[in-house]
Homo-oligomer: A and B are copies of this chain.
Amino acid sequence: MNLTRRQTEIYRYLVDNAGHFDRPPTYDELCEALGLASRGSLHKHIQALVHAGLVEPMDGSHRGIRLVEQEEPVQESAEAGVPYLGTIAAGRPIEAIPQADYLQVPAELTGSKPCYVLKVSGDSMIEEGILDGDYVVIEQRDSARNGEIVVALLNGEEVTLKRIEQTPAEVILHPANIAMMPVAYPHDAVQIQGVLRGLLRSYR
């Protein structure tokens, strides 16, 4: 995700002044600080930063603009941790987080193959017991057997977690939610990025 000049400028300002705010700044406060007259203009830039995973999304709430936590590299990571890459929401690209975090995942889930962890957003697999906010452990693979749950890249742009069925003619992706229908794609529109190996959920 490439930022424009103004976007990086604004992000810089946020980072530089992060410790300087006693509370998360509102759009109006930022507008004044940045010499903007219109919240609407600022909003577009902030949205770009949210999309780039640099600013926390605030779904309608009024709590000011916050940077996404840039946790310093966890040193335990070398110790057989599994990288946490971001959020997977049906219908959108993976929202990568800037610096990979590492999770201590039991070897029983990962096996010996390379894996990564994604956070699930949405309810499309709810009937398989995969809920909004769960973390899935994905084994890096570019092929899958029928019936496996896969991370699939569709048309090179959006990514989704679904149960896969491959026929000679097409690839069918089955959600596990009565409200959603299976969708069929031509083979060349679906690129498998990994296979579901494990699941983590926090009730904290």
Whole-angstrom distance between the Cβ of A80 and the nearest chain B Cβ = 8
Whole-angstrom distance between the Cβ of A16 and the nearest chain B Cβ = 13
The interface residues of chain A, by DSSP majority, are classed as loop
Q: Are A203 and B149 in contact (CB under 8 A)?
A: yes
Classify chain A: how many residues form its interface, as a range: 35 or more
Considering the chains assembled together, what is the distance between the CA atoms of A126 and B126 in angstroms?
A: 10
Question: At the interface, yes or no: A130 with Cβ under 8 Å from chain B?
Answer: yes
**A9: chain B residues within 8 A (beta carbon):** 23
Question: At the interface, yes or no: A106 with Cβ under 8 Å from chain B?
Answer: yes
Question: At the interface, yes or no: A154 with Cβ under 8 Å from chain B?
Answer: no
Whole-angstrom distance between the Cβ of A187 and the nearest chain B Cβ = 24
Question: At the interface, yes or no: A202 with Cβ under 8 Å from chain B?
Answer: yes
**A201: chain B residues within 8 A (beta carbon):** 109, 129, 198-199
Determine which of B66, B105, B196, B203 lies in contact with A106 in the assembled complex, contact meaning CB atoms within 8 Å: B105
Can you offer 23 A-B residue contacts whose CB atoms are under 8 A?
Answer: A2-B56, A2-B58, A2-B61, A2-B63, A3-B63, A4-B62, A4-B63, A5-B23, A5-B63, A104-B106, A106-B200, A108-B202, A108-B204, A109-B202, A111-B204, A129-B129, A129-B130, A129-B131, A129-B201, A148-B203, A198-B201, A199-B199, A199-B201
